Amino acid sequence: MTRSDITVAAVGHHPAAVIWDLDGTLVESAPDLASALNTQLSSEGLATHAVSDVRLMIGGGVPKLIERGFAASGVVLNGQAVDSRVADFLTLYQACATNNSFLIPGARYALDRLSRAGVCQGLCTNKPEGVTRQITEALDITRYFGSIVGGDSTTARKPDPTSLLACLDELGVSARQAVMVGDSTADVGAARAAGVIVLVVPNGYTALPASELGADGIVGSIAEVPSALQDPAQLMAAD
């Protein structure tokens, strides 16, 4: 798919819907995720991690974060051992989820501009829905979304397309009328499987450069998303 194919999804000058990822795309949530993870690690006598390191562990949901965090501290957990720690992590995280998380610069501008243009917007994240809504309420962005689908809202997390398709269904928009905006291979994988055009922002929660994520295009910054959807020539090539 080329940059000009972005217009395939367009209704007028914008797509009918934009589906956003949360962590690393709209919200800088790593400080609070790191706080919860480090508290859990400390409670088991394990080494903690810098926020910059935790940023690269995010993606795939809470179980993956726990698995990666413990592995980086020298403890390999099997599936059952990970699952048994999820509830404790969520208790810790819910207590601090809005302490130091903030909107990435340009996010509110992009959300507001698309809203004013009449574009439906949805949120599709691997973060549990409850804490997702806790964060969107604290940051005053819940009102922008016609659908919020979390990692526990459906039977599977991204890169499985189930949650993205559920988000589109709730918005009443087809895959060909939508664009996904994210920052990771999970976002790209879900969009590909759902048949949705996908753009990525740079400097997200991944060790891979944006050019290697396999997206249809790269947006220079989140603030540029609305204008890039109107003029795909603004997108940087993703190959």
DSSP line for 37-77: HHHHHHHTT-----HHHHHTT-SS-HHHHHHHHHHHTT---
Q: Find the catalytic residue in 21, 183, 187, 216.
A: 21
How does DSSP classify residue 91?
H
Q: Is 21 a catalytic residue?
A: yes
Q: What is the mean pLDDT of residues 170-196?
A: 97
Task: Write down the pLDDT at residue 102.
Answer: 98
Which of 53-62, 99-108, 163-172 is the least confident region?
53-62
Averaged confidence pLDDT in the chain: 93
- pLDDT tens for residues 45-102? 999 999 999 999 998 899 999 999 999 999 999 999 999 999 999 999 999 999 999 9
Domains of the chain: 3-28+102-234 (3.40.50.1000), 30-94 (1.10.150.240)
Task: Write down the pLDDT at residue 1.
Answer: 42
Pick from 137, 126, 127: which is nearest to 103 by CA? Answer: 137
Task: Write down the pLDDT at residue 203.
Answer: 86
Radius of gyration of the chain (CA): 17
Helices (H), 139-184: 162-171
Cβ pair 187, 180 in contact under 8 A: yes
Model-level pTM? 0.92
Cβ pair 177, 16 in contact under 8 A: yes
Find the length of the chain. Answer: 239
Q: Is pLDDT at 146 greater than 60 in this prediction?
A: yes
